[in-house]
A and B are shown apart, each in its own frame.
Chain A
Amino acid sequence: MSGFVDVFSDEFVLFSLVITGYFVLFNTIQLALMLLAFLAVRRRVRAIELEDFREIQESGLTPPVSIIVPAYNEGPMIIETIRSLQALRYKQLEIVVVNDGSSDDTLERLIEAFGLRRTPRVYWQQLKCKPVRGIYWSPDHPRLWVLDKTNGRKADAVNAGINLASAPYVSVIDGDTVIEDGAVLAMMHAILPHSRDTVAAGGTVRIVNGCKLEGNQAVRVGVPHGFLARVQIIEYLRAFLFARVGWSEIKSLMIVSGAFGIFRKETLVEIGGFRHDTVGEDMDAIVRMHRKLREAGRPYRVTFVPDPVCWTECPETLEDLRRQRERWHRGLGETLEHNKVMLGRRRYGRIGMLALPYYMLFEYLGPLVETAGWVILPFGWALGLVNWQLFVLFLVASVVYGLVLSLLSLVLEELSFRRYQEPGQLARLAMVAVLESLWFRQLQVWWRLVALITWRGRAASWGSAPRKGFQRA
């Protein structure tokens, strides 16, 4: 054994230093993004504090927006979702529901609830999609269209909706999300000063589990009971709110969430709509927008607006969460593969030189490096190949630094939006942040590693998680 130690100890030490350096670099990038995001969020919050959105609501210059709701077996939720969209504060809003060949009674419920009838509407099919079986409409709800088509997965459903949408801006949302009353208005407030250049804008997605909604507003923002739902609150704050604002600040935003985003229809059509052969169609569309517009040398803007909020239900069982994370990782892999030509190319500016390499190295291949660290370093320490100081350094870089970032995201939330106002809620979230660093992150790394190794051989699906539904007043 001592011979083995003598032969490999230096390599082990080098390996430990590389892995530790990797964690330090990753967490430092996260820290920098969070600090950048914090400044941007404060600026935005301050800018809209006294803003009167009624002017945008009432002006004839405000462009119409079509909201596309792809629905697959959304029977129990769909009516509530549509009614909440109809109540949104935005004058020129069109709602296009796409029933993607649901096997439940989604279409029947819609027809009954809104008194729809089949209409002979014809439209220009700019994007390819599966055959449309019928279009439904009612004079009582002239802004609501329901398109019934054969099943083709989410991207196909969204493309069908884009074909039918008549507004220059389309907003794509998930069937189970609730958009806050003024969210579209706030999003357009951020878009209008740059309306010529803005091709996509994302809003904040927050966890609805544990909250109480009245109409489209969360009247009581709560912390859910289960650890898994709680930990996702921290994750959404850290990764989906502050990190995305940070990327947006350095003009390198690569994701506008499929749960809530606004896109310029013309640009979506130009890139051929959402891809059917990926589960990460939202990220893929944004990357292709960057690619197309940079190749054409046209000025454009992809931005993240932190104040418009949509609420979504998160998975609460390990199995559902695992499936979701594997799907996300697969989506990331597919996007990187489809757009590998951009990687490291100066022609694509910060996207090619900064954002894509980051996503490749830290997000996609990250599980390989992290798993190697978590398996080999304790093993090396136990065998005496690595001294305990290096092992401690690894733990500090991976666990404690990560914990500090999670706590910092809570502090930034308190300093900006203050959605979680009770000290008890913050205590529970801080506790979860500690526990997250000790085992949940490592579990996620494992899930992502499995996805990284196995995604190529698997068929994609709609991939919706079972929902418990949320509390409405």
Chain B
Amino acid sequence: MVTAAPGWEICLIGLLLGAAVLLIALLFFLNHFHTYRAHQVLELERMLEETVEEWAHDDLMPDESQRLARLRGGDRDVLVQVCLQMAPSLDQRALERVRAGLKRWGLLDRELANLHHPSPARRADACLVLGRMGWRSAIPALIQALSDPHPLVRRRAIAALGDLHAVEALRPIVRTLEATGSWGDMLAIMALSRLGAESIPHVTALLQESTSPAMTKGLLQMTAQLGRAADPALVRDLASHADPEVRVEAVRALGHIPSEPASVAVCLSALDDPAWPTRALAARSLGRLGDGSAIPSLEKAMGDTAYWVRHHAGEALAALGRSGHDALKRRLSDQNPFVRDMATQMLYISALPGEASR
């Protein structure tokens, strides 16, 4: 019979049972620590909310130095977080005063230094703070952060530059998105759109220069988000681009920028596009553009083989007011059951159930 050397099994069982006991002790220690810290943070938040209120109202208390000098590491993070939470409810001047308060206590400089912190989470948070607190001096550092190896940091840097309306950063941002193949990151596109109306001419210029379908698509998505284009003719041209995804975004953008007769014509012709997503978005944009001349084409599109084309065509007709509703009512007796079905639904949804039930 094979026998194992005596003693080792006792050590092993002791080791694992010891680990179990240690884990139980650790569990309760962590729980106690977290509860204590949560309570402490709650108290601190209350105190710091008062401080930030005072900063916002330029009503500095004499004991500010005393109160804030006591704050250490983690507590200073709480102060920054309180500022972030309160920032959306502050007007521009109040935000400036809060920013000045943070600056006075060296917290903005600390966040700036954190852009080089070894932890990506710290770097990402630093971007967010600098952007939301509107500190424009941080723009060059944030542009540098666009080349961070971590995608979260890059996205937060884009969002921060957007919050700061740093139009000068648009080109570096576009270069980053192109170099990292991140045009498919919808969160980055949403963040980019924060640059606001001032970026519209720059976006158009980049659209003109773009040779990459992914970049063109991303810039068109941004155009739709911004609701304006410096050169609508360029967007219209892109509605006949070879790449179907670009065509989809071009017709989507046409529905979001101010209506022009030429845009309506482009969307009408996109209703015959071979790709159904383009036809669907064309129908939706025609509804947004609000031009009654699109009604016959939209009625025809209600018989499309693709559900989404029928759906958006119906929705567009419902959005076109009385004449659109009349068209929907006509379609209730269409020979095609798909058309009748969609007309019924759209009349219901557009709050005309009496007409739909006829």
Mark contacts of A399-434 with chain B using CB atoms, 8 A cut-off: 1 yes-contact digit, 0 otherwise.
011011001101100110010010100110010000
The size class of the interface chain B forms with chain A is: 35 or more
Mark contacts of A244-286 with chain B using CB atoms, 8 A cut-off: 1 yes-contact digit, 0 otherwise.
0000000000000000000000000000000000000000000
Q: Which residues in A have their C-beta under 8 angstroms from that of B186?
A: 59, 61-62, 192-193, 195
CB distance from A251 to the nearest CB of B (A): 16
CB distance from B264 to the nearest CB of A (A): 20
Interface-facing stretch out of A119-127, A312-320, A451-459: A119-127
Query: Would you list which residues of chain A between 114 and 159 have a CB under 8 Å from chain B?
Result: 119-124, 137, 139, 142
Cβ-based interface call for A47 (8 A): yes
Cβ-based interface call for B242 (8 A): no
Q: A411-B26, A411-B27 are in contact. Are A139 and B349 (CB under 8 A)?
A: yes
Cβ-based interface call for B53 (8 A): no
User: Looking across the interface, which residue of chain A has its beta carbon closest to that of B339?
Assistant: A122
Contact B27 A47 (CB under 8 A): no
Contact B187 A189 (CB under 8 A): yes
Cβ-based interface call for B116 (8 A): no
Q: In the bound complex, how far is the Cα of B308 from the Cα of A411, in angstroms?
A: 48
Q: In the bound complex, how far is the Cα of B340 from the Cα of A392, in angstroms?
A: 75
Contact B345 A414 (CB under 8 A): no
Contact B20 A403 (CB under 8 A): yes
Q: Which residues in B have their C-beta under 8 angstroms from that of A400?
A: 13, 16-17, 20
Q: A9-B1, A123-B307, A389-B6 are in contact. Are A56 and B190 (CB under 8 A)?
A: yes
Mark contacts of A375-408 with chain B using CB atoms, 8 A cut-off: 1 yes-contact digit, 0 otherwise.
0000000000101011011011000110110011
Contact B348 A10 (CB under 8 A): no
Cβ-based interface call for B338 (8 A): yes
Contact A426 B187 (CB under 8 A): no
Q: Which residues in A have their C-beta under 8 angstroms from that of B9?
A: 389, 392-393, 396
Taking a contact as CB atoms closer than 8 A, the residue among A43, A194, A387 that contacts B4 in the complex is A387
Cβ-based interface call for B206 (8 A): no
Taking a contact as CB atoms closer than 8 A, the residue among A43, A120, A189, A403 that contacts B340 in the complex is A120
Interface of A is mostly: helix
Cβ-based interface call for B176 (8 A): no
Query: Would you list which residues of chain A between 83 and 128 have a CB under 8 Å from chain B?
Result: 119-124
CB distance from A422 to the nearest CB of B (A): 8
Cβ-based interface call for B239 (8 A): no
Q: Which residues in A have their C-beta under 8 angstroms from that of B155?
A: 193
Contact B27 A119 (CB under 8 A): no
Cβ-based interface call for B24 (8 A): yes
Q: A60-B224, A61-B189, A139-B349 are in contact. Are A426 and B184 (CB under 8 A)?
A: no
Cβ-based interface call for B121 (8 A): yes
Contact A139 B353 (CB under 8 A): yes
Contact A387 B19 (CB under 8 A): no
Q: Which residues in B have their C-beta under 8 angstroms from that of A347?
A: none
Contact B31 A59 (CB under 8 A): no
Q: Which residues in A have their C-beta under 8 angstroms from that of B24?
A: 407, 430
Q: In the bound complex, how far is the Cα of B307 from the Cα of A412, in angstroms?
A: 46
Q: Which residues in B have their C-beta under 8 angstroms from that of A408?
A: 23
Per the CB 8 Å criterion, the residue count for chain A at the interface is 56
Q: A194-B184, A415-B30, A426-B28 are in contact. Are A404 and B190 (CB under 8 A)?
A: no
Mark contacts of B184-217 with chain A using CB atoms, 8 A cut-off: 1 yes-contact digit, 0 otherwise.
1111111101000000000000000000000000
Taking a contact as CB atoms closer than 8 A, the residue among A9, A43, A196, A401 that contacts B184 in the complex is A196
Contact B344 A120 (CB under 8 A): yes
Contact B128 A50 (CB under 8 A): yes
User: Looking across the interface, which residue of chain B has its beta carbon closest to that of A55?
Assistant: B190
Contact A193 B187 (CB under 8 A): yes
User: Looking across the interface, which residue of chain A has its beta carbon closest to that of B277?
Assistant: A168
CB distance from A463 to the nearest CB of B (A): 33
Contact B121 A46 (CB under 8 A): yes
Q: In the bound complex, how far is the Cα of B31 from the Cα of A194, in angstroms?
A: 35
Contact B341 A56 (CB under 8 A): no
User: Looking across the interface, which residue of chain A has its beta carbon closest to that of B34?
Assistant: A418
Q: In the bound complex, how far is the Cα of B158 from the Cα of A55, in angstroms?
A: 14
Contact B188 A193 (CB under 8 A): yes
Taking a contact as CB atoms closer than 8 A, the residue among B6, B338, B349 that contacts A122 in the complex is B338
Q: Which residues in B have their C-beta under 8 angstroms from that of A55?
A: 187, 190-191
User: Looking across the interface, which residue of chain A has its beta carbon closest to that of B84?
Assistant: A50
Q: Which residues in B have their C-beta under 8 angstroms from that of A438?
A: none
Mark contacts of B237-277 with chain A using CB atoms, 8 A cut-off: 1 yes-contact digit, 0 otherwise.
00000000000000000001000000000000000000000
Q: Which residues in B have their C-beta under 8 angstroms from that of A120?
A: 337, 340-341, 344
CB distance from A47 to the nearest CB of B (A): 6
Q: In the bound complex, how far is the Cα of B248 from the Cα of A122, in angstroms?
A: 26
Q: In the bound complex, how far is the Cα of B5 from the Cα of A390, in angstroms?
A: 10
CB distance from A27 to the nearest CB of B (A): 10
Contact B16 A166 (CB under 8 A): no
Contact B311 A404 (CB under 8 A): no
Mark contacts of B111-147 with chain A using CB atoms, 8 A cut-off: 1 yes-contact digit, 0 otherwise.
0000000000100110010000000000000000000
Contact A396 B341 (CB under 8 A): no
Cβ-based interface call for B351 (8 A): yes
Q: In the bound complex, how far is the Cα of B119 from the Cα of A43, in angstroms?
A: 10
Contact A10 B1 (CB under 8 A): yes
Cβ-based interface call for A353 (8 A): no
Q: A50-B84, A414-B30 are in contact. Are A421 and B35 (CB under 8 A)?
A: yes
CB distance from A441 to the nearest CB of B (A): 15
Contact B31 A139 (CB under 8 A): no
Cβ-based interface call for A450 (8 A): no
Contact A414 B31 (CB under 8 A): yes
Q: Which residues in B have their C-beta under 8 angstroms from that of A60?
A: 224-225, 256
Cβ-based interface call for A13 (8 A): yes
Contact A404 B23 (CB under 8 A): yes
Q: Which residues in B have their C-beta under 8 angstroms from that of A49?
A: 125
Given A13-B2, A119-B345, A192-B185, 11 extra CB contacts under 8 A: A13-B1, A46-B121, A47-B152, A139-B348, A389-B3, A393-B4, A400-B13, A403-B16, A411-B23, A421-B35, A430-B27
A: residues with CB less than 8 A from B are 5, 9-10, 13, 43, 46-47, 49-50, 55-56, 59-62, 119-124, 137, 139, 142, 166, 189, 192-197, 385, 387, 389-390, 392-393, 395-396, 400-401, 403-404, 407-408, 410-411, 414-415, 418, 421, 423, 426-427, 430
Q: Which 10 A-B pairs have the closest CB atoms?
A: A407-B23, A46-B121, A192-B186, A400-B16, A139-B348, A196-B184, A193-B185, A389-B4, A9-B1, A389-B9
- 8 CB < 8 A contacts A-B: A50-B125, A121-B341, A192-B187, A387-B1, A400-B17, A423-B28, A426-B28, A426-B31
